[in-house]
Amino acid sequence: MKFSFFQLWIMLSLTVGLAQNDLKEQTAPDPLDLKIGDEAPSFALMYEPGKFEFLKNWSEVEGKKLRKNVTQPNRYAVVLSFFATWCQPCMKELPLLEEVYKEYKDTRTKFFLIDITDATRNNPGEVYGMKYADAPEAKDFLKKKGMTMPILYDRRGHTMKRYNAMKLPRLFVMDGYRKITFMRRGFHEGEEEKFVRELSEEIEARIKALPALVQN
């Protein structure tokens, strides 16, 4: 069986990411990683058949208007979490993220889970004792776990690649001007309290920094 360069690249990145989680070690920075202060890559991802969510609906670079500026002129902070259903560290992090989501979902903060399960489904071999091809579909799987955050589907892995988010879980926070202000990679036992505290503090700071509401 032959694999494309993109598939082999994903496989290698996932293997490295799993080793990092198991060994709990920090490696040298990946030159492909985004950095604090970078402009977050834009995306348009499906959330239901034929329906797409655009980052530019909520956050856009300074000097540019939001995509739906006439009907939705207000900028929001945005929280993105890349995950896959085969990713055990993701399953440990997601309940904590759900806790933060419920606390801030009615504020000027948008939360999106970005599912890359299908983007990795053709990878050979196993991960955490599960074949990539056998990983469950995200919607029903997360619903059974009580997750209510909006899910966006990166089925071809294009957004995953642009955010260099193969090492899971991968979390980003951006301000209302598409500037990355906070990032996390991986999740380890014992980090629960720190995770909730740091993410909550970051969201609070982003909300306070948003421009005043625009009345339609």
Count CB neighbours of 12 within 10 A. Answer: 11
What angle (nearest 5°) sits at the alpha carbon of residue 27, between those of residues 9 and 33? 55
**Model confidence pLDDT, tens digit, residues 99-119:** 999 999 999 999 999 999 999
Range of the domain at 91: 36-209
Our count of domains for the chain comes to 1
Token digits for 109?
């903060």
Look up the CATH number of the domain holding residue 63. 3.40.30.10
Residue that is written with structure tokens 């032959």 in the block: 2
Position 215 scores a pLDDT of 80
Arithmetic mean of pLDDT over the chain: 90
In a domain, 126, yes or no: yes
Position 21 scores a pLDDT of 46
In a domain, 13, yes or no: no
As a whole number of angstroms, the distance between CA 187 and CA 177 comes to 27
Residues in the chain, overall count: 216
In a domain, 45, yes or no: yes
**Model confidence pLDDT, tens digit, residues 56-73:** 999 999 999 999 999 999
**Model confidence pLDDT, tens digit, residues 27-36:** 467 888 999 9
In a domain, 86, yes or no: yes
Cβ–Cβ under 8 Å, residues 46 and 139: no
What number is the average pLDDT over the span 126-141?
A: 95
What band does 26 get if pLDDT is binned at 50, 70 and 90?
A: very low
